[in-house]
Amino acid sequence: MIEVIPAIDIIDGRCVRLSQGDYSRSTFYGDPLDMAMAFAGSGARRVHLVDLDGAKASSPVNLKVLEKIARLEELRCEWGGGIKSAESLKSVFDAGADFAIVGSIAAWQPDLFAEWLDTFGGEKLVLGADVKNSKIAVKGWLEEASMGIDDLLERFRPHGLVQVICTDISRDGMLCGPAIDMYTRLQGSFPEMEFTVSGGVRDAEDISKVEELGLPRVILGKAFYEGHITLRELSKWWLNA
């Protein structure tokens, strides 16, 4: 059964959703801890946390939020945003993250990310591959790198990369359906990697479609926050996992 991972994006200590990665198009949804407790209470076992302030600042900003959520024994936390140095990576793990999501450094300093993979392993480090106009987007989706997604994955293949969260930014927060063709192509090209579908998921039907394709994980954000899918519907996947 597919693993459905609810997303909590954070700005100024509050839960927020952006449209197409645009910081000026944001909607706030309350306290991240309250959200995490609601997800855990309905059966979720993993939560996707993104420090959007940290992504802009190039250093984690909202680690106090992570510390609170990490105390919920039911949830494993994957945390991204602002991990640009070994010190930042350590601070995220020290704050309680089970998994660290690294994006910009992988594109800008691939040797460093390869070193981190060698040190921490693919079970702890997650590549956050955000795609915009077929290129990797970095620094909180504000800039584009020169390489494509396939080149990035190929670079880290020999270093044991296992977990990849690939987000099509053009679909993120737009409720237009996930980029199915991209994910199935990538899974076929890199079968040893586990791809998490991210961006565009509209409802339970979209999750079922992704599940039918055999993809292991999907991140759910705006569809939940705007009421297109309920905790009761999500518990179907969480409680039967």
Q: Which of 51-55, 131-135, 139-143, 169-173 has the lowest mean pLDDT?
A: 139-143
pLDDT digits (tens, 9 = 90+) for 84-98: 999 999 999 999 999
Q: Which of 105-119, 172-186, 207-221 has the lowest mean pLDDT?
A: 172-186
One-character DSSP codes across 12-81: TTEEEEEETTEEEEEEEEE-HHHHHHHHHHTT--EEEEEEHHHHHHTS---HHHHHHHHT-TT-EEEEES
What's the whole-number mean pLDDT along residues 38-48? 98
What's the whole-number mean pLDDT along residues 179-201? 93
CB 173 within 8 A of CB 162: no
What pLDDT is recorded for position 20?
62
Annotated domain spans of the chain: 3-240
Rg (CA), the chain: 16
What pLDDT is recorded for position 140?
46
What pLDDT is recorded for position 141?
46
If one compares 173 and 56, the residue with the highest pLDDT of the two is: 56
Task: Indicate the pairing of strand 125-132 with strand 3-11.
Answer: unpaired
Rounded Cα distance between 165 and 80, Å, is: 11
Residue 130 known to be catalytic: yes
CB atoms within 10 A of CB 85: 14
pLDDT digits (tens, 9 = 90+) for 141-158: 445 555 788 999 999 999
- Rounded to 5°, the CA angle 129-131-35 comes to 65
Residue 34 known to be catalytic: no
Considering the candidates 22, 94, 118, 130, report the single residue annotated as catalytic: 130
- Token match 């959703």: residue? 17
Burial of 178 (0-12, 13-18, 19+ CB in 10 A): buried
Quote the pTM value.
0.91
Rounded Cα distance between 67 and 157, Å, is: 32
Q: Is 35 left (phi over 0), alpha (psi -120 to 50) or beta?
A: alpha
Q: Kindly report the CATH class assigned to 3-240.
A: alpha beta
Q: Is 188 left (phi over 0), alpha (psi -120 to 50) or beta?
A: alpha
Residue-averaged pLDDT of the chain: 90
If one compares 142 and 24, the residue with the highest pLDDT of the two is: 24
The one-letter amino acid code at 156 reads F
User: What is the percent of the chain where pLDDT is above 70?
Assistant: 91
- The secondary structure element, H or E, covering residue 165 is strand 163-168
Which residues are CB-neighbours of 90 under 8 A, at least 6 positions away?
Answer: none
Is the pLDDT at 206 greater than 70? The verdict is yes
What pLDDT is recorded for position 142?
47
If one compares 121 and 25, the residue with the highest pLDDT of the two is: 121
Which residues are bridge partners to 165 per DSSP?
128, 196
